[in-house]
Amino acid sequence: MTDPAITPELIAKHGITDEEYDRIKTILGREPNFTELGVFSVMWSEHCSYKNSKPELRKFPTTGPTVLVKAGEENAGVIDVGDGWGVAFKMESHNHPSAIEPFQGAATGVGGIIRDIFTMGARPVFSLNSLRFGDIRGDSEEAKTTRRLFAGVVSGIAHYGNCIGVPTIGGEVHFDDSYAGNPLVNVFCLGILKHEEIARGGAVGVGNPVFYVGAETGRDGLAGAAFASRDLTEESKQDRPAVQVGDPFREKLLLEACLELLASGCVAGIQDMGAAGLTCSTCETASRGGTGVEIDLALVPKRETGMTPYETLLSESQERMLVIVNKGEEAKVKEIFEKWDLPYAHIGEVKDDGFMRVKENGRTVVEIPARALADEAPIYVRDAAEKKETPALDLASVQQADVAKSLVDLLSHPTIASKQWVWRQYDHMVRLGATVLPGSDAAVFVVREANKILAATSDCNALYVRQDPREGARIAVAEAARNLACSGAVPLAVTDNLNFGNPHKPENFLQLRESVEGLAEACREFNTPVTGGNVSLYNESPAGSIDPTPTVGMVGLIEDASHITTQPYKAAGDVIVLLGDLGSELGASHYLKVVHGRKEGAPPKLDYTSEKALHDTLRSAIKAGHIQSAHDCSEGGLAVTLAESSLSSKEGLGSSIDFGTTGLRPDVLLFNESQSRVVVSVKPENLDALLALVKKDGVPAQRLGTVTTESSLQIAADGQSYTWALSDLQHAWGGTIGRLMGSEA
């Protein structure tokens, strides 16, 4: 087959600008051929090169005494958790593929993030996910489409995780019109390893053989990295070949083979074939190793005949690895691959000339300096719009709504409603480590081989970020840390997934810049270095950009099993206490959005001193044995927090609450989303000790009421009283998503 001529139209179709094409010619000293043009198009895409975001990412704190592998050095960062053990964790996105083919898009996203973890030499132990969709309510075609996307994504995540045996133990799901047509599928995985087991992805050792192992290469996933680096349009269905097809059973074999291989001492370097496939793994290992790599595509195992070099190099077929083997160990490597019944081939070797050189039956089809391709993509600083202050909400413009009805409306909104319909599809009990099941503030997992208790959460209130990107991003970090504190954990580190629209639009680039600076500032305050993550730009549909969504994944450590704390009330007679102020900030709240249909006002302000004092005091109270339950106050405010603490209780415990005289409007009191607040319950005999502790630490506290055996939530304030039957609230909160999706939860 003859390669097409390199024309301006072909160059533009590959997403290469005129200036970038001139740079390519300078690097090569000649015109690229068709295959080389494709190689540059994927490696210099935003998905692989971060060419529009790298200057911003440098603002993150990435070092610290616990950081064993920094962000950007390898496939995932690694954090020390003590006693010679470390955790590797990372978050990635599969947004565009999931919009086109939700089941496979989500499934292969899970497969890809798991490979990033075991490529580091870590055994994957659990996963989380953070999902965003349009509105699933109603009978419109858009709502029907969104329900199809939602069902497909959840089943894809469940299929891959359940089959490979990595439990999905937590996460979050939000619904908003801004994600209609462009869902966000962010997946997180964490693995455990000993310090000496950390694997590297460099092609070191000139003369070392290069092995391909895993699934055969096909035409699925062609140019997926480039596909993920442009806007979604009505024509995107033509990009179905850019969506990969996953096989979790093959990946399980690959996982075990790679971990055995790494333990054998045969490996000099290892790299997942993820975005950009064989292209990326070849040039990145060469660049990291300061060497060159030469491969012959005729030796690559293929499942389709007649594949061109362009197709073979750009394919993103799943479940594949590139392994640099120590010379002389080939027989042992082959024995391990055959034991696990995996296709493999010796396809090349490490060279000393710094080139990525690709041949086909001895004929050179690609010859590019590896470092220029992998690490020297053009970097752009895009124009940012002028920053404008978001005006505070004019409370006088918000009509006082029916409080009793408003709580039911909030609890039945899909963003706040129970996600049981989602997580009951996940096998969260595999490996028997999930100590806190999905549905609490943070997931908790006991890693028995390391004798460590880990907590993890993912958070982002995109409505806050939409209204004030910097403040919203700061709150995302603070809420993640607060959720960990509610579980009894000390935060260790952060991974993030930056989901934004087209960076060429100044208003979008401003959102990205402000969000990154807010995240970076907050991570320094909470002493949580960023270990890595993902940038997903061009999240736009014909209807416009998504709300900016810088998702934060945070991992923490719990010192002792007795400190593990959850949100449900535990026993009747326990005293309910609010740690923090009553608050009064209603701007950018879910009450305003859900009840009044308004996305307005500045989000609540975060005070680091108050927030950190709250976390420290809460952990101290937990360690002292004072706390029965803890639940952070976030979307929906105090009323939702109080309701959820009852509704998530297996015993069906209610509560009787009396705020006394507050001087606040009832809707402001119950539904404001001011920060730095946690509702806890304590045994009566521990109340005085708790109040003395919080007073000493300067944290505001107020006794709210009592846990009861009555199946109701009763709230009194400022001379008014409200009562909700728990059965009515459970119908709203527990059953809404199941009913919308056609099955009761």
How are beta strands 530-536 and 490-499 bridged, if at all?
Answer: parallel
Tokens of 119: 């490529």
Output the 3-class SS for 351-409. Answer: ECCCEEEEEECCEEEEEEEHHHHHHCCCCCCCCCCCCCCCCCCCHHHCCCCCHHHHHHH
How are beta strands 292-296 and 355-360 bridged, if at all?
Answer: parallel
Signed CA dihedral, 678, 526, 462, 552: sign only? negative
Single-letter amino acid code for the residue at 85: W
Q: Are 709 and 602 in contact (CB under 8 A)?
A: no
Task: Name which of 246, 351, 380, 372 is nearest 289 in CA terms.
Answer: 351
Question: Which residue, chain included where needed, has tokens 């080139």?
Answer: 355
Q: Which helix (H) or strand (E) holds 681?
A: strand 678-682
Whole-angstrom Cα distance, residue 592 to residue 588? 7
**DSSP reduced 3-state for 544:** strand
Which one is catalytic: 14, 47, 174, 413? 47
Single-letter amino acid code for the residue at 451: N
Question: Which residue, chain included where needed, has tokens 């045994």?
Answer: 683
Whole-angstrom Cα distance, residue 401 to residue 406? 7
Single-letter amino acid code for the residue at 686: N
The CB density around residue 4, as the number of other CB atoms within 10 Å, is 10
Is 428 annotated as catalytic?
no
The CB density around residue 194, as the number of other CB atoms within 10 Å, is 14
- What is the DSSP secondary-structure string of 437-470? -BTBSSEEEEETTTTEEEEEEEE--HHHHHH-HH
List residues bridging with 556 in a β-sheet. 455, 491
Q: Are 331 and 268 in contact (CB under 8 A)?
A: no
B/e letters for 164-173, b = 16+ CB within 10 Å, e = fewer, are bebbbbbbbb
Which one is catalytic: 94, 159, 428, 631? 94
Task: Name which of 313, 214, 206, 215 is nearest 268 in CA terms.
Answer: 206
Is 590 annotated as catalytic?
no
List residues bridging with 86 in a β-sheet. 80, 193
Q: Are 739 and 421 in contact (CB under 8 A)?
A: no
**Active-site residues: which are they?**
47, 94
